[in-house]
Structure 1
Amino acid sequence: MAQFDPRRQPTRFAPHLLTAAAALTVAMLAGRVYQPAQAAEVPELTSQQVANLEARAFASANAPEGLTAPEAVNVQIRKGETFEQAVRRTGIGEADAHAVAETISNAFDLADLRAGLKFETAISKPRGGMGEARLIGLTMRTGPASQLTVSRSFDGALRLRALDEKVTHEIVVAHGTVNSSLASSAGAFGATSAIIRRATQVFSGKVDMRRDVRGADEFTLVFDRSVTEQGRTVSTGDLMYAEIKGQAFYRFKPAGARETAYFDASGKNLKTTAMRAPLATFRRISSGFGVRVHPLSGFRKMHQGMDYAAVTGTPVVAPADGVVVEARRWGGYGNWLRIRHSNGLETGYGHLSRYGSGIRAGQRVSQGQIVAYVGTTGASTGPHLHYEIWRNGQRINPASVRTSEGTVLAGADLAAFRAEKARIDRIIAQGGERKPATMQADVQGLRPARG
């Protein structure tokens, strides 16, 4: 045991030395275990990965508790079906369908709905597969530029919003080159099927639209239309001007005329009393009017018309204005069509594959209008059009009917035409014309219905 010696001074440790030693020890240990934090590089996501993440995030946010993410379900009202019955076909319950119908009825009379009307719903289904689906949203167009939208809020209430789109009236100058067809090329400018049919009708007597029109041929169509802010065509007016392959025609209605017509730049009407051929395109005249050996019976027999060899589906046009007398099946003629014209003339068409839109007995047709399509029905050896002409009830040779030139404007009509032509030329030069919108966008919340 160590003895205490009063003569020896006790050993003392200064506090600052302890502090220094402790700091040194901590520093040495820290140098071994501490490293500066390094930020890990996150791999760059592809656009597809980003889209998938967004879709999952939206689906998760929109999925109601216990239900799957909403799915779009298109509905079309069937004949004799009520709105509620149509909505029930999406899988939602009776109470939900009734609530939706009551909500819609705040802004629209459901009694006005007709069979064929379409609307879109968003439906969520139970995750376990048991129970009724639930309607999350519904969109229904109630007019050319108006629609109703029903959406379910977070508290379960159904809320109705009405939208009236802004509609602008404009005159479109569709100028371009023909690619695959005039229909597709002009359609890119907003030309509807009605405008294309009108243009084809205008050119039918002057240009072979199948043989003469080639790729890179320039065309210009001028027409008026009403269009929404989203670019959707609500309606179109008539064709005002049409030009292709150097053939140009202006729409004009002379004083006292029953309908508009088309005139060239000099004021000459392109319409004739009768066109010699009812086909815009055909390969050849395979059989003329007169006695021949019948290709099926082998006997010499009077052929009381002309046969035009053409492929099935070739459009048949009315050679002049008239009224459909017959559109029916008739023995060896197959599908048969007969049209009565002025001056005691009638025309007949046999072996048709089908009739034009709306063609039936009593229907009035215009010169150049598509009335049927070439086929090989009845007693026929191949696709062709059998064409007949009657004068005062007697069949005559179609080749003997002369075409007369269209009328030429004069006097006050010519002056009015020149003014209209100048207006259309001005619109073409400026690339079109736009008029102020007739409706203002109006989105409003209406009385909600609980559901």
Structure 2
Amino acid sequence: MAQFDPRRQPKRFTPHMFTAAAAVAVALLAGKLYQPVTAAEVPPLTAEQIAALEIQAFASAGAPAGMSQPETVQVQIQRGETLEQAMLRTGIGADEARAIVRTLGNAYDVVNIRAGQRFETAISRPRVGRGDARLIGLTVRTGPATQLTVSRSFDGALRLRELEEQVSNETTVATGEIHGSLSASAGRLGANSRIVAQAVRLFSHKIDFSRDIKAGDSFTLVFDRTVTESGRTVDTGELIYAEIKGQVFYRFQPEGSNEAKYFDADGKNIRGFLLRTPVDGARISSNYGVRRHPISGYRRMHQGMDFAAPTGTPVFAASDGVVVEARRWGGYGNWVRIRHGNGWETGYAHLSRFARGLRPGQRVSQGDVVAYVGSTGASTGPHLHYEVWRNGARVNPTGAQIPSGSELAGAELAAFQAERRRIDALIAARRAGGAVPTQHGRRRRLPPRPADPLR
């Protein structure tokens, strides 16, 4: 047996070894399990996302006890009506209507509110029995890119918030197919009524929109516009290019000219001397020639063309010229006659009224509204009677040898061809889904064309 020596310290290996082993194991385990935590950077919400969340909040807001889920109610101010009265029409109580008007009045003129102003509200109604509805949210647009929102917080208080979208300028290439109407189809791609009206006037001497356009016909419109983050058009510039059924127009302003004109790919001014139809969306109800008169019953010469259209449909000047007559003329009813030069004149009869300010001696341009369709004089229904005169004699509007437009040459033609190549590059880039070069040398990537819901 070993002798115990009091001068020597005993060796205690086992406890120290357990402690060290445990420490090493904990360290290894911690190293294996621990990973540095990095917080992902959350990008700021866009105005469109904020608006979407707001709408979602309105729709999914917890309704008060005994109330239904909120439903969207459109409110439009009627003539002589106050905002409070309009709010009462949603079914909410008088106290709540006053509170909403008071809250909104902190940032909006609720006194001098005009008839026609629209509000979008989210209303919750009682599930059973009678009682007042409850407003969950209200939105009103205060500008092209701004809106005010009144919403109810969790504690029931009303909260006012202003939302402003960023706007930017871009060149838009709207290309697609016509389904329904050109206006609706182009509107889905960012064009507004002003752009569509320009396109319709350009094609009026080439295309009859009521008969020549069919579903599926392709079109392309190029124009500058101011657009919000959510893709809503605030304003548009001039129409730069238009193409329908293979016919094209390029906008070009020759050096020294006071105005821009539209030319085909070869530099020929494709604006005809006279419009093919001086009224949109009309059908020919009677051609030029001998016919049985619908009132007298006798066969007689019909010295013009009749276009059936609803009362109030705008009538356009067929070409540039000077108004010679704007008066009542027997069986023609309200009558307008325009002198266009070189012996050509046009006449418009049975009008419901003249354009505001129209008078003899006034200069008009092709496509200007000069009057509106009616049924005055010897007429059996609303229509436009249209006549073309040559050196004082009436001629067939469809058979007359009407002069064609001018054609560019020399330096003007070279400048036009450079502009045409620039526009063609915009269209090619859009169709390829790539970046579009702008006039200032920068490149802007256009958003992909939204899907057509009717296709």
TM-score, normalised to structure 1, is: 0.66
Matched, 1:306 2:306: no
Separation in 1, partners of 2:130, 2:292: 76
Match of 2:52 in 1: none
Q: Secondary structure at the match of 2:420?
A: helix
C-alpha spacing 1:329/1:91, structure 2 compared with 1 (3 Å): farther
Give distance in 1, aligned partners of 2:323 and 2:86: 40
1:396 aligns with 2:355: no
Question: Does 2:341 correspond to 1:340?
Answer: no
Flag the structure with larger Rg. Answer: 1
The C-alpha deviation readout for 1:103-157, integer Å capped at 9, x for no partner, is 2233333356321110022234456655544332211111122111111112222
Which amino acid counterpart does residue 165 of structure 1 have in structure 2?
E
Indicate if the aligned counterparts of 2:205 and 2:274 stay in contact, CA closer than 8 A: no
Deviation at 1:165, TM superposition (A): 1.9
Residue 91 of structure 1, CA deviation: 3.5
2:426 match: 427
Q: Deviations over 1:210-257 (max 9, x none)?
A: 444445543322123333333333333332111233321111233454
Pair 1:267 & 2:267 matched: yes
Tell me, yes or no, if the aligned pair for 1:62 and 1:69 is still in contact at 8 Å. Answer: yes
Tell me the distance in 2 between the aligned counterparts of 1:204 and 1:86: 44
Give the structure 2 partner of residue 233 of structure 1.
Answer: 233
Kindly indicate whether the alpha-carbon contact (under 8 Å) linking 2:80 and 2:115 is maintained by their aligned counterparts in 1. yes
Deviation at 1:82, TM superposition (A): 3.0
User: Following the alignment from structure 2 to structure 1, what is the Cα–Cα distance between the partners of residues 228 and 284?
Assistant: 44
CA spacing shift, 1:112–1:375, aligned 2, 3 Å:
closer
Residue 45 of structure 1: aligned partner: none
Q: Corresponding residue for 2:147? A: 147
Distance 1:210 1:115, change over 3 A: closer
Deviation larger for 323-332 or 228-237: 323-332
Contact 1:351 1:384 in 2 (8 A): yes
Q: 1:262: how far off?
A: 0.9
Q: Is the 8 A contact 1:275 1:319 kept in 2?
A: yes
Q: Given that residues 351 and 380 in structure 1 are in contact (C-alpha distance below 8 angstroms), is that contact kept between their aligned partners in structure 2?
A: yes
Whole-Å separation in 2 of the counterparts to 1:369 and 1:360? 12
C-alpha spacing 1:85/1:250, structure 2 compared with 1 (3 Å): same
Q: Matches of 2:308 and 2:146 in 1, distance apart?
A: 44
Contact 1:327–1:360 (8 Å) recurs in 2: no
Query: How many residue pairs are counted as aligned between the two chains?
Result: 371
Corresponding residue SS for 2:421: helix
- SS of 1:202's equivalent? helix
Q: Distance in 2 between matches of 1:125 and 1:208?
A: 51
Change (3 A) 1:152 1:221: same
Secondary structure at 1:101's aligned position in 2? helix
Structure 2 residue 195 is the aligned partner of structure 1 residue 195: yes
Contact 2:221 2:242 in 1 (8 A): yes
- Write the distance in 2 (CA, Å) between the matches of 1:267 and 1:311: 35
Task: Give the match's secondary structure for 1:340.
Answer: strand
The question of 1:362 aligning with 2:358 is answered: yes
Whether the aligned pair in 1 keeps the contact of 2:119 and 2:140 (CA below 8 Å) is yes
Structure-2 separation of matches of 1:276 and 1:149: 49
Deviations 1:56-96 (A, max 9, x none): xx989622235444343321112233333332333334443
1:220 corresponding residue in structure 2: 220
Question: Within the alignment, does 1:246 sit opposite 2:246 as a pair?
Answer: yes
SS in structure 2 of the partner of residue 75 of structure 1: strand
SS at match of 2:176: strand
169 and 111 in structure 1: CA distance in 2 versus 1, 3 angstrom threshold: farther
Per-residue CA deviations over 1:324-381 (Å, capped at 9, x if unaligned) read 78778765335x34153454865322245x67xx934429754245666777664246
Where 2:304 maps in the other structure, the secondary structure is strand
Counterpart of 2:64, as a letter, is: P
Deviations 1:405-444 (A, max 9, x none): 323334554444333222211111111748889xxxxxxx
| 1:248/1:264 contact within 8 Å kept | yes
Q: CA deviation at 1:312?
A: 4.3
Distance 1:403 1:90, change over 3 A: same
What secondary structure is seen at the aligned counterpart in 1 of 2:142? Answer: strand
Q: Which letter does structure 2 place at the counterpart of 1:197? A: A
Relative distance call for 1:140 and 1:329 in structure 2 (3 A) is farther
Amino acid at match of 1:103: T
**What is the rounded CA distance, in whole Å, between the counterparts of 1:117 and 1:383 in structure 2?**
33
Structure 1 residue 294 displacement after superposition = 6.0
Unpaired runs of 5+ residues, structure 2, are 1-57, 446-455
Alignment partner, residue 417 of structure 1: 416
C-alpha contact (below 8 Å) 1:76/1:117 kept by paired residues: yes
Distance, in Å, in 2 between the alignment partners of 1:216 and 1:131 is 52
Q: Secondary structure at the match of 2:407?
A: coil
Distance in 1, Cα, partners of 2:232 & 2:286: 45
Identical columns (%): 56
Query: CA offset at residue 100 of structure 1?
Result: 2.0
Please tell me whether the aligned partners of residues 205 and 277 of structure 2 are also in contact (alpha carbons under 8 angstroms).
no
Contact 1:72–1:120 at 8 Å: present in 2 too? yes
Give yes or no for the alignment of 1:102 onto 2:102: yes
The letter for the 1-side match of 2:393 is I
Q: Distance in 1 between matches of 2:288 and 2:90?
A: 59
- Note closer, same or farther for the CA distance 1:380–1:188 as it changes in structure 2 (3 Å cut): same
Unaligned runs of 5+ in 1: 1-57, 438-451
d(CA) in 2 for partners of 1:315, 1:113: 31
Question: Structure 2 CA distance, aligned partners of 1:421 and 1:338?
Answer: 38
- Asked whether the 8 Å contact 2:208–2:276 carries over to 1, the reply is no
Tell me if structure 1 keeps the 8 A contact 2:320–2:366.
yes
Q: CA RMSD in A?
A: 4.3
2:452 aligns to what? none
Q: What does 1:34-113 correspond to in 2, within 5 Å?
A: 62-65=62-65, 67-111=67-111, 113=113
| CA distance, structure 2, for counterparts of residue 332 and residue 282 of structure 1 | 22
